[in-house]
Amino acid sequence: MRKALLIVLLATYMSLRLNAEDGYRLWLRYDRISNPTLLSAYRSQISSLSIEKNSPTLTAAHDELLTGLEGLLGMKINLHTSIINGTLLIGTPNQSKTVANNVSRTEIEKAGKQGFVIKNALINGKKIILVAANTDIGLLYGSFHFIRLLQTGKPISNLHIISSPLIENRILNHWDNLNRTVERGYAGSSIWDWHRLPGYIDQRYKDYARANASIGINGTVLTNVNANALVLSGMYLEKCAALAATFRPYGIRVYLTARFSAPVELGGLKTADPLDEKVKQWWKDKAAEIYRHIPDFGGFLVKANSEGQPGPQNYGRTHADGANMLADAVAPFGGIVMWRAFVYSNETPDDRFKQAYNEFKPLDGLFRKNVVLQVKNGPIDFQPREPFHPLFGAMKQTPLMMEFQITQEYLGQATHLVFLPVMFKEVLDADTYINGKGSTVAKFIDGSSGNQNLSAMAGVANIGSDRNWTGHPFGQANWYGYGRLAWDHRLSSTDIAEEWIRQTFTNDAGAISTIKNIMLRSHEMLVNYMTPLGLNHIMGNGHHYGPSPWSANLPRADWNPVYYHRADSAGIGFDRTSTGSNALSQYAQTVRTKWENIASCPEEYLLWFHHVSWNHKMKSGRTLWEELCYKYNEGVDSIQSVQRQWKQLSSRIDKQRFAEVAMLLGIQVEEATWWRDACLSYFQTFSRQPIPRGVGEPRHSLDYYKSLRFPYAPGN
């Protein structure tokens, strides 16, 4: 009896362990739908699946649908080739006469190469649902979208969905090194186990591909932009080929970072001059070798002449010379070159804000057709809030792609909850006024404004070996939201948040309302307790962890926080108007006029563009100093209120993830308070004014905050 009881207890324990909500499944959770009315409705409309498994991609779609439907509906799904009531039919017009007869030419043309159509149809009195596309990958995307409808509780009795991506190349940039460290990584080591590749294919690689395909991501750069030439060697190309083969059924192409000096380091040449014929031939031969290993290789991502990386300027050549050499090497195979515009020089005394524009604007029209410039969302470096980069819209004859940072290098790393699609949307929807009102950043990226022959978006990945992939459970929402916006930047951050909550946590209306409120507030909350009113780049040196606005000892002026805030007894902020660095001259006249006038400049950008008196009257009626204090304090109050809101969810979501987030919110409250106290203590030495009543007094002295050291902070 005792032995039997132990067996039962052990079985129960193992069952709980196996079904623990540890976050590994991401948003691909296919547990049985708990709403009995909804479950009954779905079961009455779906009973069988019809799909031909005549390609690896359609096999992937079949497996995903079968797993998803049987899990969500809690019933056996029959496989039929004939049409019966409740059939879910997946196919192209060429594969299926039913699809050809029930999906119009207009509908299927709107779907394009990667999109899909989902609609209800009545065939000989039988009610069915069609998922149609022009290509197998379109069918896979449509299959994932249909599963999402069920996961999020959407009605499926009157469907007419046509969806195609607005941006062609939707890419994750992994800043992963060959030794499995991750630059700016906060979720463990790299998921690429280079030592065991190509022979050992971890299940995580397939699950990574599934997750990306489910949100429409179709490319991955495997290695760090601070590149290692070794990845281009034959041994590592075999490893990359094994990953590419795993990803291929899910429509994901592999890209690699190209170290510009590789012809010297790998090829034994004496130069890497892009105009040298031997160098050109080396890259052509290397490209041919890569394509022998990876026939659908996407191309190269290049960081050159930036932060010590080698590049064409080492040889007196331009960025266009370097990019075009590589573009010519991959062009015969259909590859592209993504050339990063993140460049600034210690030898150039001009405002760092201006340097990328000054470097690339004169090169407009000089790049090959298969080159796209990869531009960060703002002109400095992934700060909590930046004005949109002035290059967007300025390059009339050169495709530009967006580079977002999903990993939270400057946004609390993996201990702070911040929903980044709110920030992404802020940038994408920003109006450049280059072609008049409505010339948004998004329209220049997707090609609907300007002369774009390539459209692309990149996100620096926040993925690591942690069981839940992203360190913070809510980091998954940023990966998810990036993919959804790369597919369709018109989606609202509110809708994306709700989708993710429903798939990841629960369909409980009360819990959704609370979590969504937290997510949508989180970005402004973080900006307030870190860098309010346009402050930026005031974090710790090197690791970028925590506040350090006093830092001034790094060898480059523009690596030091004091370079950016310029606090003195008169005020604070960087004058970028015509009386200062004149960075505003790089924007269209409408934007320039609005931001150059201190009265009309949005207060969230105020200190980006103006050196402002401590006693300047703000819209609230408070002085700048008082407003700065209140903003910092508001940020702390807000995260404390989030902590209280989260506690209300203890009975509405799983215990494991509830506890994880609760602990991380505790850290976030402490660190938000640290940011407020340290920054106000420091800036008070310049304002020489008291901290207003109602704002928390610093808990420690300024010397204490200055003394803190973090030699082993992650991601450095």
**Under CATH, domain 24-163 is a member of which superfamily?**
Chitobiase/beta-hexosaminidase domain 2-like (3.30.379.10)
Mean pLDDT of 578-593: 98
How far apart CA 214 and CA 29 sit, in angstroms, is 12
Q: In the 3-class helix/strand/coil scheme, how is 310-373 assigned residue by residue?
A: CCHHHHCCCHHHHHHHHHHHHHHHCCEEEEECCCCCCCCCCCHHHHHHHHHHHHCCCCCCCEEE
Taking only Cα atoms into account, the Rg of the chain, rounded to an integer number of angstroms, comes to 27
Q: What does the pLDDT read at residue 472?
A: 98
Which position has the higher pLDDT, 452 or 465? 465
Q: Is the pLDDT of residue 13 over 70?
A: no
Which position has the higher pLDDT, 436 or 1? 436
Q: What does the pLDDT read at residue 296?
A: 98
Q: What does the pLDDT read at residue 497?
A: 98
Secondary structure letter of residue 413 according to DSSP:
G
Q: What does the pLDDT read at residue 449?
A: 84
Helix, strand or coil, per DSSP, at residue 407: coil
Q: Is the pLDDT of residue 100 over 70?
A: yes
How far apart CA 134 and CA 636 sit, in angstroms, is 51
Q: What does the pLDDT read at residue 205?
A: 98
* 194-247 residue pLDDT tens: 999 999 999 999 999 999 999 999 999 999 999 999 999 999 999 999 999 999
Q: Is the pLDDT of residue 12 over 90?
A: no
Mean pLDDT of 47-51: 96
Q: What does the pLDDT read at residue 17?
A: 40
| Cα distances (angstroms) measured from residue 104 to each of 98, 101, 264, 693, 695 | 11, 8, 56, 67, 63
* 635-670 residue pLDDT tens: 999 999 999 999 999 999 999 999 999 999 999 999
Q: What does the pLDDT read at residue 3?
A: 54
Q: What does the pLDDT read at residue 621?
A: 98
Mean pLDDT of 287-301: 98
Catalytically active residues are: 307, 381, 409
Q: What does the pLDDT read at residue 451?
A: 65
State the Cα torsion 587-588-589-595 to the nearest 10°.
-40
* pLDDT interval class at 2 (50, 70, 90): low
How far apart CA 654 and CA 538 sit, in angstroms, is 37
Mean pLDDT of 449-477: 94
Mean pLDDT of 322-327: 98
Q: Is the pLDDT of residue 18 over 60?
A: no
| Burial environment of residue 517 by CB neighbours within 10 A (0 to 12, 13 to 18, 19 or more) | middle
Q: Is the pLDDT of residue 565 over 70?
A: yes
Which CATH number is 528-574+611-707 given?
Answer: 3.90.1330.10
How far apart CA 465 and CA 708 sit, in angstroms, is 29
Host H or E run for residue 219:
strand 219-221
How far apart CA 351 and CA 342 sit, in angstroms, is 14
| Cα distances (angstroms) measured from residue 524 to each of 107, 420, 486, 527, 542 | 40, 10, 22, 5, 25
* 419-445 residue pLDDT tens: 999 999 999 999 999 999 999 999 999
Mean pLDDT of 378-406: 97
Which CATH number is 169-346+353-367+406-495 given?
Answer: 3.20.20.80
The strand pairing partners of 126, in sequence order, are 123
The strand pairing partners of 536, in sequence order, are none
Q: What does the pLDDT read at residue 15?
A: 40
Q: Where are the domains of the chain?
A: 24-163, 169-346+353-367+406-495, 528-574+611-707
Mean pLDDT of the chain: 96
Which position has the higher pLDDT, 116 or 1? 116
How far apart CA 583 and CA 604 sit, in angstroms, is 17
Parallel, antiparallel or unpaired: strands 299-302 and 78-79? unpaired
Helix, strand or coil, per DSSP, at residue 109: helix
